[in-house]
């Protein structure tokens, strides 16, 4: 078990990649604090999305709590960490995963779309990372922070001019935090998912031509699944990556390198 008796905090953990990270962490022996915001997704039967993942984790014999909060609010990270410590006694891993990607053209993008995307994806990552790092430092036993950056930190998207800078910023945040937090034994790394089929891009990929184009560009021949990313997050969070910090891991099926 790679995360035996660890406490893992996941932001944006009710759906998509975050949900997979929460589940994968529990399967590897962790208790999980799951942040969510606006959980109006009823795709998981009668229970809300977050309650269904809590039940799924408890069915594995691990503990889980659901904590609502918008990571864009600088108080949310502190409250989330406090609830995790209250419930489980300590925090060992932060998966800073919460993010949005409202696809939008550049020239007529309203300030609200730009500012909300930056507030959630970048400011949110900063505040939650800061809150978790302060708790880890106080505990004195190190820790691991894994941010969900993106292939979009490295390449652009015509409908993502607001989004790609935030993913580049998340990657850079982990690089600088690796330096600032190394003295406390806190490792900071990022995963860079490629095109992973989640509700974040369901509308975008509902366009069959777009979906076929993306699949054709991926050497492994398929869109990614959330658990493809979650397994890499578990690795970076685990002691197997004990000498890895300030690094990033592309999880994209070869999409980034595929020029021709
Ligand atoms: C990723 C990448 C994918 C897109 C998601 C929403 O960073 O750009 O292609 O589907 O974001």
Residues 6+ apart with CB under 8 A from 171: 147, 149, 153, 190, 192, 248
Residues 6+ apart with CB under 8 A from 192: 149, 150, 151, 153, 154, 167, 171, 248, 249, 250, 251, 252, 256
Using one digit for the tens of pLDDT, what is the confidence trace for 131-184? 999 999 999 999 999 999 999 999 999 999 999 999 999 999 999 999 999 999
* 89 torsion bin: left (phi>0), alpha (psi -120 to 50), beta (else): left
Using one digit for the tens of pLDDT, what is the confidence trace for 49-106? 999 999 999 999 999 999 999 999 999 999 999 999 999 999 999 999 999 999 999 9
Longest dimension (CA), the chain: 52
Residues 6+ apart with CB under 8 A from 233: 21, 24, 25, 95, 146, 148, 191
Domain annotation covers residue 1: no
Domain annotation covers residue 2: no
What's the confidence (pLDDT) of residue 80? 98
> What is the distance in A from the centroid of ligand 1 to the CA of 200?
8
Q: What is the residue range of 39's domain? A: 7-259
Closest Cα to atom 3 of ligand 1? 195
Closest CA to 132 of 11, 3, 255, 254: 11
- CATH number of the domain bearing residue 136: 3.40.50.720
- Determine if ligand 1 sits within 6 Å of the CB of residue 101: yes
Token digits of residue 227: 């658990």
What's the confidence (pLDDT) of residue 38? 82
Number of domains in the chain: 1
Given the residues 36, 114, 127, 163, the one annotated as active site: 163
Would the pTM of this model clear 0.75, i.e. be above it?
yes
Domain annotation covers residue 174: yes
CA angle 241, 64, 22 (to 5 degrees): 40
Quote the CA–CA distance of 184 and 191 in Å, as a whole number.
22
Domain annotation covers residue 225: yes
What's the confidence (pLDDT) of residue 45? 59
What's the confidence (pLDDT) of residue 77? 98
Domain annotation covers residue 218: yes
Question: Is 55 considered catalytic here?
Answer: no
Closest CA to 122 of 169, 164, 88, 89: 169
> What is the distance in A from the centroid of ligand 1 to the CA of 194?
6
Domain annotation covers residue 166: yes
Domain annotation covers residue 252: yes
- Determine if ligand 1 sits within 6 Å of the CB of residue 200: yes
Domain annotation covers residue 22: yes
What residue spans of 155-201 are helical by DSSP H? 164-181
């Amino acid at each position: 078990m790679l995360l035996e008796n660890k406490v893992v905090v996941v932001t944006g953990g009710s759906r998509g990649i975050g949900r997979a990270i929460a589940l994968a962490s529990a399967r590897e022996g962790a208790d999980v604090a799951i942040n969510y915001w606006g959980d109006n997704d009823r795709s998981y039967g009668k229970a809300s999305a977050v309650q269904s993942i809590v039940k799924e984790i408890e069915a594995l014999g691990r503990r889980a709590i659901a904590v609502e909060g918008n990571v864009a609010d600088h108080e949310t990270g502190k409250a989330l960490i406090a609830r995790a410590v209250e419930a489980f006694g300590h925090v060992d891993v932060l998966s800073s995963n919460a993010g949005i990607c409202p696809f939008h053209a550049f020239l007529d993008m309203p300030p609200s779309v730009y500012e909300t995307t930056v507030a959630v994806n970048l400011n949110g990552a900063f505040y939650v990372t800061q809150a978790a790092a302060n708790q880890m430092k106080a505990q004195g036993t190190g820790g691991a922070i894994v941010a969900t950056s993106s292939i979009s930190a490295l390449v652009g998207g015509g409908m993502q001019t607001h989004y790609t800078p935030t993913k580049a910023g998340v990657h850079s945040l982990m690089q600088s935090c690796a330096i600032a937090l190394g003295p406390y034994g806190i490792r900071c790394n990022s995963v860079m998912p490629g095109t992973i089929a989640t509700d974040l891009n369901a509308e975008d990929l509902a366009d069959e031509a777009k979906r076929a184009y993306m699949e054709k560009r991926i050497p492994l021949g398929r869109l990614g699944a959330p658990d493809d990313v979650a397994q890499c997050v578990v690795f970076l969070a685990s002691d197997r990556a004990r000498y890895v910090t300030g690094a990033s891991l592309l999880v994209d099926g070869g999409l980034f390198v595929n020029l021709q």
